[in-house]
Amino acid sequence: MKRREFIGGLAGAAAWPLVARAQKPERMRRIGVLMDLAADDTEGILRSTSFLHGLREAGWIDGSTARIDIRWGGADSNAIRKHAEELVALEPEVILAGGSSTVMAFQMVNTAIPIVFANVVDPVGSGMVESLAKPGGNITGFTRWGEYGTSGKWLELIKEIAAFLRRVAILRDPSIASGSGQLGAIQSVAPSLGIESRPYGLRNPEEIERDLGAFAREPNGGLIVPGSGLAVVHRDLIVTLAARHRLPAVYFQRFFVASGGLVSYGPNFLEQYRQAAGYVDRVLRGEKPGNMPVLAPTRYELAVNLKTAKALGLTIPPAVLARADEVME
């Protein structure tokens, strides 16, 4: 399914018929939701809407068959921890945790409430689950990548578009366990492509602006933005700086491209949140998270922004356009 069609479907969600797989429960069930984005973040709104629609498809309607409490943490770790404590105090029967930072916050609270996560990169390496096939404990969900090797495709893609590249800046969050895996996959591919890779942090806007400005003083540079919550929070700044410094850039999600980024390659997160609703439904109907396997994306989307390519003086190769799921002009 093309993303445009998917989002269009979300917009009309209120008019869709409800499909309940079971009779209306005798009591209202309680569901907690903690998102790692701000309440006014467009991408966060789309993700939560996708999740809520998935619940409606299963018969769980806020205020009717379920009470759904949503909290938004943004990039503030203290706020995320506070909201995690608030949600646990409400004693929901199951919690949706959007992003690695929210899962870790619930682990710090030490709750036994079932948790379904979405958009987590390395749940095994982060200690969230024992294994993908048999998570054990009270946590399961949907991982962002099937394997770290996928991260190397970002470098291959940007090199295919900008053959002159000799250096790439990798803008990553060093505080998350998945950051090392993604970085390692990119660096393992770099020598075969004749590219020098330089990792930089993105803890705050000042650091991002300083590091990218210094990197761009040398020629033949490009940019890779792997997946992280901080990259999403600072996405407008990153896209602006890439354009200012004329750095061909590849991102892990298409909403960067919609904001003016050059190209992206990654899974459909909106679909993942809809699927997470299915896992929440199964928990409410009696299944244990520890017996439900962590699922990885089976399909990745390629998005290209032709207007940005033109501004950078680049011509997107026909082979790339032929593979693209979405071409923005």
Reported as a single tens digit per residue, the pLDDT across 306-327 is 999 999 999 999 999 999 999 9
The total number of residues shown for the chain amounts to 329
pLDDT at 205 over 90: yes
- pLDDT value at 12 more than 70: no
Using the predicted structure, report yes or no on whether residue 238 has a pLDDT greater than 60: yes
> In this structure, are residues 232 and 74 in contact, taking their beta carbons and an 8 Å threshold?
no
pLDDT digits (tens, 9 = 90+) for 48-101: 999 999 999 999 999 999 999 999 998 788 999 999 999 999 999 999 999 888
User: Is the pLDDT higher at 21 or at 78?
Assistant: 78
Q: Return the CATH number of 148-266+301-328, one of 3.10.450.50, 3.40.50.2300, 3.40.50.720, 3.40.50.970.
A: 3.40.50.2300
State the Cα angle at 62 between 61 and 68, rounded to 5°.
125
The answer to whether the 3-146+267-299 and 148-266+301-328 domains have the same CATH topology is yes
Model confidence at 32, pLDDT cuts 50, 70, 90, reads: very high
Distance CA 51, CA 68 (A): 11
CB 306 within 8 A of CB 263: no
Output the pLDDT for position 11: 47
Integer Cα distance of 78 and 89 in angstroms: 17
Instruction: Report the phi/psi class of residue 281: left, alpha or beta, with left for phi > 0 and alpha for psi in -120 to 50.
Output: alpha
Locate the domains of the chain by residue range: 3-146+267-299, 148-266+301-328
Residue 146 confidence (pLDDT): 61
- Please give the angle made by the CA atoms of 237, 241 and 247, to the nearest 5 degrees: 140
Model pTM above 0.95: no
Class of the CATH-defined domain 3-146+267-299: alpha beta
**Cβ 168 vs Cβ 224: under 8 Å:** yes
Q: CA nearest 248: which of 223, 231, 227?
A: 223
Encoding tokens for residue 237?
């700044």
- pLDDT of 228: 80
Instruction: Answer with the residue of higher pLDDT: 297 or 118.
Output: 118
pLDDT tens column, 209-218? 999 999 999 9
Better-scored residue on pLDDT, 220 or 5: 220
Segment 175-202 shows an average pLDDT of 85
Q: Write out pLDDT tens, residues 99-141.
A: 888 999 999 998 899 999 998 878 888 889 999 999 999 999 9
Helix (H) or strand (E) holding 305: strand 300-305
